[in-house]
Amino acid sequence: MDSLTADHRVHRLVAPLVDPATYRAWTFFVAALPLGTVGFSWALVALGLGVASSFTLLGIPIVAVSVVGARWIARLARPLARWGLGAKLAEPAPLVHEPGLLGWMKAALTDSVGWRGLLYLVLMFPVGLVLSVLALTIAATAVLTPVLLVAPWVIRWIAVPMRWLAERLLAPLTLSERAARLRAGRQQVVDTAAGERRRIERDLHDGAQARLVALAMDLGMAKEKLATGRDPEHVEALVTTAHDEVKLALQELRELARGIHPAVLTDLGLDAALSAVAARCTVPVTMNVSVPVRPAPGIEQIAYFCVSELLVNVSRHSSASAASVDVLRTDGLLTIAVRDDGIGGARVWSGTGLSGLAERVEAVDGRFLVDSPMGGPTLVTVELPCGS
């Protein structure tokens, strides 16, 4: 038993020396200096120039440029932290802004991802300087010396706070921001549901209800004619009109029910429901659905309406000749990718259909990404959590 315990202790002591994670962290420390130098230089020049000229109107766009630039530089730091430190970092959504220069500046100046990325890059200069010197010193002194056994533990120990820093400053959202967004998303869902209820009431009042009232009047007149036995031709015409009104009312009720929740989605799932949506699209659509296990009904409904709205946009606005829809469920995530070869230029602006879809997706802690350069093509990606 004592020999086994001793072997276990030796194994624990030597394990970091042969663990690839140790050398990835060491590589991160070496790379931290050039990355920090670039980030600090950008912050010093761009942000410093913007602050120095803040007394003029030119300072505001310079500060906005410095924040957006930091966001782009942080795109290099994020995969490095994932690879070198094992940090759990998702890619943030693209910067969404309203039309015009003022809309872009407003979005940039209030972009928490850009500001946190700027802070991370500034901190990485002094931290990177210390870490790089430490990593190179360890490499120079550890070979064939007792430091060889201590060095991996030092590297692993320092990697812990560095991973914590990266996950706090490079993550798309902090916990408080995520909670605030979820609260806003849930409120948006409540408002959307209230608006949908009012729409249904309006559609019923203006459509099916009006037709049913006309039907009741026609049948009442026909009943009076039949009671008196006069004008049988008029009675026949009234009954024919009432019959037509019934068919139209039934059609409007079916369309209204389809807008609330399509029966084919409930009965047959996403594959059949989305195939029906693609068949109604005026642009040829290639459909690929791989959902071996059906998600929750709420997630399934959001996926259905996202694809429906996106294909309507393809038909109306894209001038595309072909489109494709890929739906895949893996590792508790339902991913939807809608592509078209149209003219591009789609943007998630407040008040647009895409904005409504983005709010609906974010309300369930999902992601809604739009990549649509001018001239096309357009790719809209929707990620919905659906459990493992």
Tell me the percentage of the chain whose pLDDT exceeds 90: 4
Residue 339 and residue 307 share a domain: yes
379 close to 339: Cβ distance less than 8 angstroms: yes
pLDDT at 4: 43
- Report the alpha-carbon distance of residue 167 to residue 1 in Å, rounded: 42
d(CA 325, CA 311): 9
Tell me the pTM. 0.48
Per residue in 126-154, pLDDT (tens digit) is 877 877 777 777 766 655 556 566 677 77
Give the rounded distance of the alpha carbon of 370 from its chain centre.
9
Q: How far is CA 146 from CA 7, 65, 82, 87, in A?
A: 19, 50, 30, 30
Distance of alpha carbon 351 from alpha carbon 233, whole angstroms = 54
Which residue range is the domain that position 189 belongs to? Answer: 180-260
Q: How far is CA 162 from the centre of its chain?
A: 27
Same domain, 134 and 204: no
Q: Are residues 271 and 359 in the same domain?
A: yes
Shared domain check, 328 and 254: no
Adjacent-strand bridge partners of 327: 289, 336
Domain boundary residue, one of 229, 260, 291: 260
Omega within 30 of 0 (cis) for the link into 377: yes
pLDDT value, residue 185: 57
Residue 165 CB: number of other CB atoms within 10 A?
18
Within this chain, do residues 188 and 167 fall inside the same structural domain, yes or no?
no
H-only helix segments in the chain: 2-18, 20-42, 48-52, 59-85, 100-109, 112-142, 147-169, 175-203, 209-228, 232-260, 263-268, 270-280, 297-317, 353-362
* Sequence-separated (6 or more) residues with CB below 8 Å from residue 65: 46, 50, 108
Average pLDDT, the chain: 76
> Same domain for 112 and 205?
no
Q: Which is it for strands 285-290 and 323-330: parallel, antiparallel or unpaired? A: parallel
Taking the C-alpha atoms of residue 202 and residue 256, their distance in angstroms, rounded to an integer, is: 11
Domain boundary among 112, 147, 172: 172
Compute the half-sphere exposure of residue 37: CA atoms within 13 Å on the CB side of its CA.
9
**Which of 236, 260, 284 is the last residue before a domain boundary?**
260
Q: Could you tell me if 246 and 184 lie in one domain? A: yes
Most confident of 62-66, 147-151, 240-244: 62-66
CATH number of the domain bearing residue 316? 3.30.565.10
The highest-confidence range among 36-45, 200-209, 325-334, by mean pLDDT, is: 325-334
Q: Sign of dihedral through CA atoms 348, 352, 354, 360?
A: positive
| SS3 sequence of 235-282 | HHHHHHHHHHHHHHHHHHHHHHHHHHCCHHHHHHCHHHHHHHHHHHCC
pLDDT for 3 beyond 60: no
Per residue in 295-344, pLDDT (tens digit) is 888 888 888 888 888 888 888 888 888 999 999 988 788 999 999 998 88
Mean pLDDT, rounded, for 199-212: 61
Ramachandran class of 331: left when φ > 0, alpha when ψ lies in -120 to 50, beta otherwise: left
Does 216 lie in the same domain as 116?
no
Same domain, 188 and 154: no
Instruction: Please indicate, yes or no, whether residues 239 and 127 belong to a single structural domain of this protein.
Output: no
Q: How many domains does the chain have?
A: 3
Q: With a cut of 70, say whether residue 222 has pLDDT above it.
A: yes
pLDDT at 21 over 90: no
Sign of CA dihedral 291, 292, 298, 304: positive
Q: Are residues 344 and 363 in the same domain?
A: yes
Same domain, 20 and 142: yes
- CA distances from residue 97 to 4, 14, 183, 256 in whole angstroms, order as listed: 63, 52, 21, 34
| 110: number of Cβ within 10 Å | 12
